[in-house]
């Protein structure tokens, strides 16, 4: 009897474990990430000669229901055509019956990795605003993400911001574009941090604990709307601000308003939150914080620093002349 | 607020401050009213010229240089008519032009480009 070497055993294990893309136009390269139900692989599109990320369902027992869910997820993302939402290129079925969809392969780092090496509050706020804009776009199409967190946000090599993992997204209504039928698309989770259930009946908890709204944590699926994502965005903002020595009262107030326990007290939409972040970046008053006269003056001075310096220089020069021209 | 209006307001305010500083010079204190009116007018004229320039040309460095030149020229004119105090008049006048030049480029409404 001849024993197989470890290398050969590993190879055989890989062949058995990894999906067979043989019947497709993709060539398997490596595994990128594995979640509760789905695994994302790096593959090469042989026709277009480019790298793609392919998401394949893990479950070996493929039912019609599972297949439909995966296709729906692909359809949700495919119809959200926005620079801040990772585009879906293709959807198909593997020889073993599992559904897969191919997405743009995003080169870059996750928001948490980006924040670890970039401590500029302005840069972080700009990226956060781009996330809000992408989420606002999805909301305008009647889709809520339900699992926004730094690990699901990618910063590309050129600074572009992409919201990933729409596996537990929910369709609230028909948006600007036609999005299929009304109702809740059952989730197809992909992140290892998810606490999910396939059924989205009342009482089911979907999302990630630290980033989910109180109503989401209570499993009040029917109560979820855009403001659940606003809460998660607030939690993402909190993550971006927590290591800043002086984030500023206005930034903290925005964070608190977005993360309010009662959804009635939050921003009514992601675009409203984005607008407040824009005002913060432009040194303008934000809706979440009522500033006093001193803060107002200090904000104006900081915004018009150069003009203030010029006027001060002028006044100093006048004072100088007053004293030097005295007999 | 339009750029020429910003120029006029800022020019007038700085012109008034400019004129009032004459109070500290006892020799000309009795002519304070005339000096304030004169320097205010000078500031307004500079503000109008610089404001209209900013309306036409949108460039911070060019706007500042233009303001500086207008301020210096008007101040030189005043000093020339007075026959003295060149340094004391031209330096503040130039700085006023610089400030107005900066402010009119940075602030105020830019008219929308007309569709062709």
Catalytic residue among A133, A147, A225, A229: A147
Q: What is the ipTM of this complex?
A: 0.71
CB-CB contact of B106 with A307 (8 Å): yes
Residues of A in contact with B102 (CB under 8 A): 306-307, 310
- pLDDT of A60 strictly over 70: no
Lowest mean pLDDT among A63-77, A209-223, A226-240, B13-27: A63-77
Rounded-to-integer distance, Cα B111 and Cα A251, Å:
33
Rounded-to-integer distance, Cα A160 and Cα A104, Å:
13
What mean pLDDT is reported for chain A? 82
- With vertex at residue A173, the alpha carbon angle to CA A171 and CA A178, rounded to the nearest 5 degrees, is 90
Please tell me which residue of chain B has the smallest CA distance to A325. Answer: B25
At residue A207, the pLDDT reads 66
Out of B17, B88, B103, the one facing A307 most closely (by C-beta) is B103
Task: Provide the CATH number for the domain around residue A216.
Answer: 1.10.510.10
Residue A92: domain span: 8-104
Q: Which residues of A175-193 are buried (b: 16+ CB within 10 A; e: fewer)?
A: beeebeeeeebbbbbbbeb
At residue A173, the pLDDT reads 62
Question: For residue A34, what pLDDT band results from cuts at 50, 70 and 90?
Answer: confident
> Of chain B residues 24-43, which have a CB less than 8 A from chain A?
24-26
Domains identified in chain A, total number? 3
At residue A192, the pLDDT reads 35
The residue from A57, A88, A104 where one domain ends is A104
Angle of the B86-106 helix axis to the B3-20 helix axis, nearest 10: 150
Contact assignment for B17 to A318 by CB distance below 8 Å = yes
Is A12 in the same domain as A90?
yes
* Residues contacting residue B81 through CB under 8 Å, at least 6 positions apart: none
User: What average pLDDT does the segment A23-37 reach?
Assistant: 82
Spatial CA neighbour of A318 closest among B47, B66, B76, B15:
B15
At residue A199, the pLDDT reads 38
From the CA atom positions of chain A, what is the Rg in Å? 25
A326 in contact with B at a CB cutoff of 8 Å?
yes
Out of B25, B99, B106, the one facing A311 most closely (by C-beta) is B99
In a domain, A286, yes or no: no
How many residues belong to chain B?
116
A147 noted as active-site residue: yes
Residue B39: domain span: 3-106
User: What average pLDDT does the segment B62-77 reach?
Assistant: 92
Residues of B in contact with A322 (CB under 8 A): 21, 24-25
Please tell me which residue of chain B has the smallest CA distance to A320. Answer: B88
Is A211 in the same domain as A232?
yes
Spatial CA neighbour of B27 closest among B38, B37, B35:
B35
B54 in contact with A at a CB cutoff of 8 Å?
no
Residues of B in contact with A303 (CB under 8 A): none
Q: Where are the beta strands (DSSP E) in chain A?
A: 26-34, 38-45, 50-57, 88-93, 99-104, 108-110, 143-144, 153-156, 161-163, 170-171
- Indicate the pTM of the whole model: 0.71
* Number of C-beta neighbours around residue B72 at 10 A: 19
Is A100 in the same domain as A112?
no
The residue from A78, A104, A130 where one domain ends is A104
The residue from A69, A104, A139 where one domain ends is A104
Residues of A in contact with B21 (CB under 8 A): 318, 321-322
Contact assignment for A321 to B92 by CB distance below 8 Å = yes
Spatial CA neighbour of A207 closest among A229, A183, A226:
A229
Rounded-to-integer distance, Cα A86 and Cα A50, Å:
16
């Amino acid at each position: 009897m001849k024993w197989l070497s470890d290398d050969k055993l590993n190879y055989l294990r890989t062949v058995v474990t990894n999906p067979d893309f043989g019947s497709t136009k993709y060539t398997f390269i490596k595994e990128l990430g594995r979640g509760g139900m789905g695994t994302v692989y790096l593959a090469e599109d042989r026709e277009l000669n480019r790298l793609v990320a392919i998401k394949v369902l893990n479950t070996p027992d493929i039912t019609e229901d599972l297949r439909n869910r995966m296709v729906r997820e692909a359809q949700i993302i495919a119809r959200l055509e926005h620079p801040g939402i990772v585009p879906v290129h293709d959807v198909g079925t593997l020889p073993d019956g599992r559904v897969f969809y191919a997405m743009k392969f995003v080169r870059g780092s996750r928001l948490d990795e980006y924040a670890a090496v970039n401590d500029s509050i302005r840069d972080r706020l700009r990226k956060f605003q781009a996330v809000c804009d992408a989420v606002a776009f999805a909301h305008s199409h009647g889709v809520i993400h339900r699992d926004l967190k730094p690990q699901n946000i990618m910063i590309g090599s050129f600074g572009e911001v992409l919201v990933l993992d729409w596996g537990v997204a929910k369709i609230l209504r028909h948006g600007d574009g036609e999005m299929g039928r009304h109702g809740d698309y059952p989730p197809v989770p992909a992140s290892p941090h998810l606490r999910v259930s396939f059924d989205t009946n009342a009482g089911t908890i979907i999302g990630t604990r630290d980033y989910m709204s109180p109503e989401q944590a209570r499993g009040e699926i029917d109560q979820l709307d855009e403001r659940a994502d606003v809460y998660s965005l607030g939690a993402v903002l909190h993550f971006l601000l927590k290591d800043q020595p002086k984030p500023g009262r206005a930034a903290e107030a925005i964070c608190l308003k977005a993360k309010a326990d009662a959804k009635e007290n939050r921003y009514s939409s992601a675009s409203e939150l984005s607008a407040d972040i824009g005002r913060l970046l432009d040194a303008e008053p934000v809706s979440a914080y009522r500033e006093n006269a001193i803060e107002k003056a200090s904000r104006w001075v900081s915004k018009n620093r150069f003009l203030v310096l010029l006027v001060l220089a002028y006044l100093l020069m006048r004072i100088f002349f007053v004293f030097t021209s005295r007999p | 607020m339009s750029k020429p209006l910003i120029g006029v307001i800022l020019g007038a305010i700085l012109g008034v401050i400019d004129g009032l500083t004459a109070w500290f010079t006892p020799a000309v204190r009795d002519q304070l009213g005339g000096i304030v009116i004169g320097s205010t007018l000078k500031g307004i004229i500079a503000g109008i010229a610089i404001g209209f320039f900013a309306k036409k040309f949108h460039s911070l460095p060019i706007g500042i240089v233009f303001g500086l030149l207008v301020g210096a020229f008007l101040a030189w004119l005043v000093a020339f008519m007075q026959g003295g105090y060149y340094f004391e008049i031209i330096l503040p006048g130039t700085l006023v032009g610089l400030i107005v030049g900066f402010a009119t480029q940075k602030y105020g409404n830019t008219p929308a480009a007309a569709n062709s």
